[in-house]
Amino acid sequence: MSRSARQAQLAAGTVNDQRWTAVVARDPSADGTFVYSVRTTGVYCRPSCSSRPARPENVQFHATSGDAVAAGFRPCKRCTPDQPSLVERRTATVTRACRRIEASDQALSLETLARAAGMSPFHFHRVFRALTGLTPRGYAIAHRDSRVRRQLERSNTVTQAIYESGYNSNGRFYAKSDAVLGMTPTAYRAGGATAEIRFAIGECSMGSILVARSDRGVCAILLGDDPEALARSIAALGNAENESWGIEFGYRYDGVEGDPVVYRPTTAPGARLPSVFLRDGSALYDRLGPWFTLLRFGDADPSALIDAAPVPIETVVVADPDVAPIYEAKLVLVRPDTHVAWRGNRCDDGHTVWQQVLS
């Protein structure tokens, strides 16, 4: 086979690969799914690299940066494919900001959050809103409103619930209580027993949606696949917002629905990581890293997952024997949003696991 015919064959193989389309488009959404190398330069890049496009006959595709390095290529200095992508770095930054907002008893200013993130207030505000759909202030308000709903169930008095949720005065809360609760705080604590609640069910892009409201405002929003099941759920909830632990803690990003009232802890991929306190009194959640965290129980070997990790990862060894059965596996990989990405008692092929987790 002549050299030109060989080059034409290599070019055709590259152009016919769907990954080439992402490279030509410099598609940032493809970052983290693969890298490509260029024979003539000896470097490898992420799909979104802004360098001049290479000739297709000189391009090779690799599943991970490690594969490209093993093939003899070095990382591009422009797009730094051996480092977290811009999207990953921004996601980690916003995740840390959300945790900071949630942990603070006082409202944090935009300047304070931006300074901690290493950004200007304008840039941080734009990045935060692009990733969460809310402004930092909007996120803080939504989190405070969620806290007041929980505190109304747990606190001895309405006043105690209001102050423990972060409100500075009763008047400030009561001015917006209808929008937050859809009824008075006293009626809310009673599960809306004396309120007349109407609801409607419709269809949206995420499936069936139920919206319930009292004469004061919206008091419940439920999502699901079965409209009849939603109707039964709102009828069976009783103390709807206060006792819906299955909705509060059992949300899963894989679409699997559980009991809206009863919360059953699980580490099935997609589920929220169960929260426990260890023997020393610390919360396991406090040991989670800002990016991915690998929980290790017993003698499981985590090296395959760690060596293949394309994103920052921290390993937490949990030696408490009373905690291990709750987490159902010796290795549990946790996403930045505290949902379980993967679990297993052993891992022989870390690359495959990461491809599934990040796809």
Active-site residues: which are they? 45, 49, 76, 79
Alpha carbons within 13 A on the beta-carbon side of 280: 8
For residue 241, give both structure tokens: 């917002």
For tokens 């759920």, the residue is: 233
Between the CA of residue 279 and those of 267, 319, 321, what are the distances in Å?
Answer: 20, 10, 10
Q: Are strands 218-224 and 313-318 parallel, antiparallel or unpaired?
A: unpaired
Beta bridge pairs of residue 314: 293
Q: Provide the 10 A C-beta neighbour count for residue 331.
A: 23
Question: CA triplet 20, 21, 26: central angle to 5 degrees?
Answer: 95
DSSP string, 219-269: EEEEEES-HHHHHHHHHH-SSHHHH-HHHHH--BTT-----SS------ST
For residue 195, what are the contacts with CB-CB under 8 A and spacing of at least 6? 183, 187, 214, 215, 216, 219
Asked if 267 and 332 touch (Cβ cutoff 8 Å), the reply is yes
